[in-house]
Amino acid sequence: MTRLDEILAKARPDPDDLAALLGADARAEQCRLQAAAYAVKVRTVGAVVYFRGLFELSNLCSKDCLYCGIRRSNRKVDRYLIPIDEILAGARWAYEQGYGSVVLQSGERSDPVFVDLITELVTKIRALSQGQLAITLSVGEQSEATYRTWFQAGAERYLLRIETSDPALYRRLHPADHSWERRRDCLRLLHGIGYQLGSGAMIGLPGQSVEQLAQDVLFFEQEKVVMIGMGPFIPHADTPMRESIRNFAWKRHAQLALALRMIAVTRLYLPDVNIAAATALQTLAPDGREQGLMAGANVIMPNLTDPKYRSAYQLYDGKPCLDESATQCRGCLQARIASLGETIGFGQRGDSRRFVERKKAAATNGATSAGQPPADENTGEGPAMRRVSGYNTKLF
């Protein structure tokens, strides 16, 4: 029996198994890994795909992340802010089409005008859908007061990607005024307030190891993340990391394979969370998102942004479907998903199973689901964060 067979025979991988699974890059091994993850998905959360209608409402950003196409210092970007009425019209369409959730995503801002804009959008979307549309925000690092304001207005989910759980690697991706600790602390604030907490990592970064990726999975568990949005690193020509483009062409297949293994491993280790099949997978292969679903993902985020804005919201090069309308996107995805033998959860919120069960347990115990601290508030280390042994090989 091989090491892979031994691991897959377990009810759940041990933390020290994760790097070995992520390093299983032989085609036959990858196929078995993804098949095992898909079986766990079907058994745990069902063969159902939940839509999250995505609005890229603005590319104005105060951050200067070294890999991002809409970073503050990129002067080649045409900056925009979609008018409120256009977003509300799109949200109404999503509600009428049976989407269970919408996502408001933008570059990071924390000024009072922006905070008030998000509050107004959340309040009005909640009203037009009679509270039926679950609202996810993905608008970056904010104060606790701001997070509470938006939660009270009706936002229930928040996606804040940590990008990497390794502070040293994080520092190589960001200028000196960006703080990994600040980002982690924001995740803890969001959980304490009561949001369904989402995060994610970039996969296949230059110099990244399978050990670091395994640590990312453990980080999700420690920080009580219940929604995970991960994507492959794809370089952008107008960023300081553009030198990665030179070697990227021959790595496309390897990047896709690694991203699929990361989805599969996350599903095996955290069987009851929601995992998105990122749009970036489709940049690497025409059926990349479908492959993500077959590797264990159960969420897709159809882009509802008006095509006239989409070309100005490119975090990475080669983003697909820039000229596709919301109606075209819905029809295309519906056909693609049906071809896999899966169904779409129209009219369903698709809450994270882990979050729902946690709330039930908290109610049973007479406590709230919010405010439970991580394992060790001082160090950030806990049982789930013990170092993964056995693998320390750089992937790229």
DSSP secondary structure code for residue 92 in this structure: H
- pLDDT (tens digit, 9 = 90+) per residue, 144-166? 999 999 999 999 999 999 999 99
Domain 3-368 has CATH 3.20.20.70: yes
Compute the distance between CA of residue 187 and CA of residue 167 in angstroms, rounded to an integer: 15
pLDDT cut 70: percent of the chain above it: 92
pLDDT at 350 over 90: yes
Task: Please list, in sequence order, all residues whose beta carbon lies within 8 angstroms of the beta carbon of residue 366, skipping any fewer than 6 positions away.
Answer: none
Tokens of 264: 């599969």
Q: How crowded is residue 235: how many other Cβ atoms within 10 Å of its Cβ? A: 19
Compute the distance between CA of residue 148 and CA of residue 357 in angstroms, rounded to an integer: 23
Asked whether the beta carbons of 282 and 320 are under 8 A apart, the reply is yes
Compute the distance between CA of residue 49 and CA of residue 33 in angstroms, rounded to an integer: 20
Q: In sequence order, which ranges of the chain are alpha helices (DSSP H)?
A: 3-8, 18-22, 27-44, 84-96, 112-128, 144-153, 167-173, 180-193, 210-222, 252-269, 280-284, 288-294, 307-310, 326-339, 353-364
pLDDT number for residue 213: 98
pLDDT number for residue 322: 87
Asked whether the beta carbons of 336 and 88 are under 8 A apart, the reply is no
pLDDT number for residue 389: 34
Binning pLDDT at 50, 70 and 90, where does residue 386 land? Answer: very low
Residue type (1 letter), 296: G
Compute the distance between CA of residue 6 and CA of residue 13 in angstroms, rounded to an integer: 9
pLDDT number for residue 54: 97
Asked whether the beta carbons of 290 and 335 are under 8 A apart, the reply is no
Give the pLDDT mean for 115-134: 97
Boundaries of every domain in the chain: 3-368
Name the nearest CA neighbour of 65 among 198, 163, 212. 163
Using DSSP, state whether 276 is helix, strand or coil. strand
- pLDDT (tens digit, 9 = 90+) per residue, 158-201? 999 999 999 999 999 999 999 999 999 999 999 999 999 999 99
- pLDDT (tens digit, 9 = 90+) per residue, 12-37? 999 999 999 999 999 999 999 999 99
Question: CA-based diameter of the chain, in Å?
Answer: 61
Asked whether the beta carbons of 228 and 196 are under 8 A apart, the reply is no
Which residues make beta-bridge pairs with 53? 102
Compute the distance between CA of residue 25 and CA of residue 259 in angstroms, rounded to an integer: 11
Q: How crowded is residue 346: how many other Cβ atoms within 10 Å of its Cβ? A: 13
Compute the distance between CA of residue 7 and CA of residue 21 in angstroms, rounded to an integer: 8
Across all residues in the chain, what is the average pLDDT? 91
Name the nearest CA neighbour of 99 among 132, 137, 138, 128. 132
Compute the distance between CA of residue 49 and CA of residue 297 in angstroms, rounded to an integer: 8
pLDDT at 39 over 50: yes
Rounded (to 5) percent helix, strand, coil in the chain: 45, 15, 40
* Cα end-to-end span (Å), the chain: 30
pLDDT number for residue 364: 87
pLDDT number for residue 161: 98
